[in-house]
Amino acid sequence: MNRSHLPGILAMAATVVASNILVQFLFGQWLTWGAFTYPIAFLITDVMNRVYGSSAARRVVLVGFVTGVACSLIGTQIIGEFGPLVTLRIALGSGLAFLTAQLLDVSIFAALRDGKWWRAPLVSTLIGSVVDTALFFTIAFSGALAWIEPANDTSWAQEMLPLLGLGPLVPLWVSLALADWLVKLGLALLALIPFRFLVIRLTATPAR
């Protein structure tokens, strides 16, 4: 393993662990604290991609995926008030969403690498965030996929409520997904600042 990749690997592992812990704590009605830490994974992937290349970025993503799987396995053994903290559907949704979205981010970033410095991280993160949110919430909570884990009662997520408390009636999980994506959207824009700083710091030359 290239020692220069170690900070990125450790940062990704720490982000995944922190997000898996903080997702247990609510922030308001539609979000958990994990929604604010998880998007850092895209920043880490993009910095690694810009500085060390796509292969290094994919290696960091793999570490994040393995760490997430480990967290999910631990979560399935912890019994809360309503059963295991992590159900099969949540574990499956989390793993598939992370791996798919992050690898897509790496590919899109590589395709846009030679454009303006901000375009690759912004576009790759925005598209990756859409895929990540859609996959996770659909797999974890959609009534259409109840067959994945019949014993897991997600009827609470199917309750019809105004979208984010204001819009048309939709299943609760749709509001949760939209709120989650809006946070990712905002953080994708803010992340351009540390992205620029870190790339300049690590390369000692301005990022393209």
Answer for the pair 183, 36: CB distance below 8 angstroms, yes or no: yes
- pLDDT for 72 equals 87
Domain spanning 3-142+183-203: which CATH class is it, in words?
mainly alpha
pLDDT tens track for 127-186: 999 999 999 999 999 999 999 999 888 889 999 999 999 989 999 999 999 999 999 999
pLDDT at 207 > cutoff 70: no
pLDDT, tens digit, 9 for 90 and up, residues 43-88 = 999 999 999 999 999 999 999 999 999 998 888 777 666 566 788 8
Predicted confidence band of residue 197 (pLDDT cuts 50, 70, 90): very high
CA distances from 26 to 29, 36, 166 (A): 7, 11, 20
What is the rounded average pLDDT of the residues 5-24? 93
Q: Where are the beta strands (DSSP E) in 67-193?
A: 79-80, 83-84, 160-162, 169-171
Looking at residue 169, what is its pLDDT? Answer: 95
Q: How far is it, in rounded angstroms, from Cα 56 to Cα 8?
A: 9
Report the distance separating Cα 103 and Cα 39, nearest Å.
Answer: 14
What mean pLDDT comes out for the span 107-130?
96
pLDDT at 124: 97
Question: Per-domain residue ranges for the chain?
Answer: 3-142+183-203
